[in-house]
Amino acid sequence: MGYNLEKISAISDGDQDFIKAVVVTFIEEIPDDLVRFEQEVKSGNYEGIYQVSHKIKPNLDLLGMNESYDENLQILSWSKAETNIADIAVAFNNVNVKINNNITELKKEFNL
């Protein structure tokens, strides 16, 4: 399991309906962000990469996706410096796979 719901549980004071609402929103919105992220990486658009990477960062943190969060921080750094596009592509692929695996697991956990 590549996520940890402790942070969101603490913020919500254990409110399961709130936690589920956040998870559902994540599952509904993040795939579109990942599609855009991939397009920006393929086109080598550092500004676009930075924008999408920055947009998903708080969600990764909130849902305790620490490995993806750390790799995403590296993508942010590289895209801001407008360097390492090949490394960005590799890191994005790792993040993409991990997030999609987490979505599958979250759907199972929350019966979605």
Average pLDDT along the chain, 112 residues, taken 10 residues at a time: 93 94 97 98 98 97 97 98 97 98 97 94
Contacts with 105 (C-beta within 8 Å, 6 or more apart), sequence order: 1, 2, 3
pTM beyond 0.85, yes or no: yes
CATH numbers and ranges of domains, the chain? 6-109 (1.20.120)
For the chain, give the number of residues.
Answer: 112
d(CA 6, CA 3): 9
Cβ-proximal residues to 46 (8 Å cutoff; 6+ apart), any chain: 79, 80, 82, 85
HSE (side-chain half, CA atoms, 13 Å) at 1: 10
Give the model's pLDDT for residue 14.
87
